[in-house]
Amino acid sequence: MLAVTAVYRCRYCTWVHTKEALRSGLTGEDVTTLLSGSMNGCPTDEALGILYAQHWADADANPTPDSFKMLVDSYGREKAQAVNLALRMIRIGNLTGNSWDYLLHRVSFGRLGI
């Protein structure tokens, strides 16, 4: 979630996902690292999934077939499909938050949002 949020830069999602990451045991340093787009200290078994999530978001939800194949080869088809579903849900939340911020910015003549 943090890897995708790092790409979309939604402040609401950053707040929610940071809170959940800290609650699940990540350190503040871990969160900062992921939000910066870095993979330093990432567990090896999670690195491919995080890189795929960043690629998926950077590619505007249109990852290369080879990247999805690598995900399937590493995690299995069922888990890879679950990752794609989670990414779609995160994208909806991020786009909604960013759209809301833009609307706030416009209706407040630049005093709120963004």
Residue 82 lies in a domain: yes
The 10s digit of each residue's pLDDT in 85-105 is: 999 998 898 889 889 989 999
Is 57 a member of any domain?
A: yes
> Could you tell me the pLDDT band of residue 83, with boundaries at 50, 70 and 90?
very high
- What domain range is 52 assigned to? 2-107
Within 10 angstroms of residue 29's Cβ, the number of other Cβ atoms is: 10
Q: Residue 75: inside a domain, yes or no?
A: yes
112 located within any domain: no
Structure tokens at 107: 């209706």
Residues in the chain: 114
The answer to the question of residue 114 being in a domain is no
**What pTM does this model have?**
0.80
Instruction: Write the pLDDT tens digit of every residue in 24-41.
Output: 999 999 899 989 888 888
- Does residue 113 lie in a domain region? no
Residue 24 lies in a domain: yes
Residue with tokens 């567990």: 43
User: How confident is the model over 3-23, as pLDDT tens digits?
Assistant: 888 888 888 889 999 999 999
Question: Domains in the chain: how many in total?
Answer: 1
